[in-house]
């Protein structure tokens, strides 16, 4: 490690120490915030519930994912009815899956702009979870156009103070020459009032997101390749939604920090909570493998002073106004063990309260088992299991013991039909001193036994 890196680590450690919780300070939120591989976040809030829409990695799926939370610590995964690859396909569509949603609310209706097949499709719904429908029937809002040598993706809606709405979009071609376009949306939110204009700022590649603060328009965006460490967040400033936009002197504001093991952060959104702004962005999973697209959603404070966005430190945790509403209910095991584990994915990883680490059984383990033991008797109300992929089927059963694992009582069995989702909630409602999760022998429909976290809600005797 060189002198510059050592100084950076020292500064980061000092910053984290200065943010350690004391009475009167905000609680902290760990990164990544979501248990799984999700990128390109977009957030809306309704009645205290936050809805986070995201690309499911690697490289999208045939459907769109949405996570809900009321505290940013505990999340529930949902599979939306629309968009799907099947429903959003035109004669010009390519093979690309469902990517990069942007969702906004206007006059009690919700509108989604999403990339499918390198085209932008517009959906509408009466509530954040839908049911959603294509606002234009069976056609995209912005069709593919290979003659202009850019990808028609990454659309992001912005509603100005005067009520006018705008859509920004555009990426590059063969990882170079990004183009950013903007058009004013009509009152129906699914048509344009005029021709799109190109407003591409310096060092733009994709992922535009517009912010307005103090009368200034901050066009934020990503440059580099999302599959490697060059990906980063930049910004440019203008006086109206159409620019021109001048890149700021301190751009980029968020980029790779090898010392913090943060690689390729970018394609972000901004959420306001407790009167403060926070940036939600994705970065690569760990261990980092260049050329892949297994990305995870993280959060950090965003501060704007005048016409400058402060540089962002992508730390492992962030101050945040909302505390874990289940904090008092978690019971910590005194010891954990697994029938097998992989080098980077040990049994302890499933109990470390981190969505960035996970346990995975070794290949060939036909009855993979994960066991937690407690220091004396506890009452477990619910076991919360966070699988690696919430849409895949996991064939498992859960048992509890009252004699330190000498004998077991089965409390749930999903080895027949399997179970999907996140969290998988298993009710126990009894006293015990050990709990185990056991997977059935793998077949072609079963997901690899791999869990981000196993959490226990209850109380200690």
Catalytic residues: 40, 206
Is residue 439 within 8 Å of 361, Cβ to Cβ?
A: yes
- What are the two backbone dihedrals, phi and then psi, of residue 401, each rounded to the nearest 5 degrees? -130, 150
**CB-based contact 437:424 (threshold 8 Å):** no
Helix (H, G, I), strand (E, B) or coil at 429: strand
Q: For the chain, what is the largest distance between any 2 Cα atoms, rounded to a whole number of angstroms? A: 73
Name the burial class of residue 137, with classes exposed (0-12), middle (13-18) and buried (19+) by CB atoms within 10 angstroms of its CB. exposed
End-to-end CA distance of the chain: 48
Query: Kind and range of the H or E element at 16?
Result: helix 3-18
Backbone angles phi, psi at 8, to 5 degrees: -65, -45
Residue 105: DSSP 8-state: E
Indicate the burial class of 292 (C-beta count within 10 angstroms; 0-12, 13-18, 19 or more). Answer: middle
Cβ atoms of residues 458 and 379 within 8 Å: yes
Q: Which residues fall within 8 angstroms of residue 201, CB to CB, at 6 or more apart?
A: 180, 219, 221, 234, 236, 243, 245, 246, 247
Provide the β-strand partners of residue 29.
Answer: 318
Q: Exposed e or buried b for every residue in 338-358, given b needs 16+ CB within 10 A? A: bbbbbeebbbebbbbebbbbb
Give the containing element (helix H, strand E) for 138: none
User: Do 67 and 49 touch, CB atoms closer than 8 A?
Assistant: no
Q: How far is CA 140 from the centre of its chain?
A: 25
Q: What is the DSSP string of 361-401?
A: PPTT-TT-EEEEEEEEEEEEEEEEEEES-TTS-B-EEEEEE
């Amino acid at each position: 490690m060189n002198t510059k890196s050592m100084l950076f680590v020292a500064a980061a450690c000092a910053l984290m120490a200065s943010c350690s919780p004391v009475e009167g300070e905000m609680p902290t939120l760990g990164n990544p915030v979501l248990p799984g591989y999700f990128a390109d976040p977009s957030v809306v809030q309704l009645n205290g519930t936050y809805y986070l829409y995201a690309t499911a990695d690697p490289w999208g799926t045939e459907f769109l994912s949405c996570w809900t939370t009321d505290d940013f610590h505990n999340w529930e995964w949902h599979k939306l009815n629309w968009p799907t690859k099947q429903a959003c396909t035109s004669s010009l569509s390519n093979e690309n899956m469902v990517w990069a949603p942007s969702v906004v609310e206007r006059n009690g209706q919700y509108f989604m702009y999403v990339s499918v097949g390198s085209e932008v499709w517009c959906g509408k719904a009466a509530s954040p979870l839908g049911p959603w429908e294509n606002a234009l029937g069976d056609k995209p809002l912005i069709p593919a156009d290979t003659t202009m040598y850019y990808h028609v993706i990454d659309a992001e809606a912005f509603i100005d103070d005067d009520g006018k709405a705008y859509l920004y979009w555009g990426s590059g071609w063969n990882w170079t020459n990004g183009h950013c376009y903007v058009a004013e949306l009509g009152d129906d939110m699914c048509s344009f009032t005029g021709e799109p204009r190109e407003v591409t700022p310096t060092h733009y590649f994709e992922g535009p997101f517009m912010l307005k603060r103090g009368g200034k328009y901050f066009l934020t965006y990503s440059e580099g390749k999302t599959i490697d460490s060059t990906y980063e967040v930049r910004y440019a400033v203008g006086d109206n939604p159409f620019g021109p936009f001048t890149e700021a002197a301190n751009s980029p504001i968020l980029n790779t920090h090898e010392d913090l093991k943060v690689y390729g952060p970018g394609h972000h959104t901004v959420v306001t909570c407790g009167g403060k702004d926070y940036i939600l962005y994705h970065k690569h999973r760990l261990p980092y493998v260049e050329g892949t697209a297994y990305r995870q959603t993280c959060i950090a404070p965003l501060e704007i002073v005048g016409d400058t966005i402060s540089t962002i430190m992508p730390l492992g945790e962030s101050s945040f106004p909302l505390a874990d509403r289940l904090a008092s209910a978690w019971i910590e095991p005194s010891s954990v063990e697994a029938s097998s584990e992989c080098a980077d994915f040990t049994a302890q990883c499933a109990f470390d309260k981190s969505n960035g680490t996970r346990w995975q059984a070794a290949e060939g383990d036909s009855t993979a088992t994960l066991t937690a033991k407690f220091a004396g008797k506890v009452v477990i109300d619910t076991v919360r299991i966070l699988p690696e992929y919430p849409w895949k089927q996991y064939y498992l059963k859960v048992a509890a013991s009252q004699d330190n694992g000498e004998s077991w009582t089965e409390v749930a069995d999903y080895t027949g039909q399997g179970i999907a989702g996140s969290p998988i909630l298993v009710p126990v409602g009894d006293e015990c001193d050990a709990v185990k999760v056991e997977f059935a022998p793998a077949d072609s429909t079963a997901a690899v036994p791999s869990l981000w976290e196993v959490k226990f809600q209850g109380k200690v005797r």
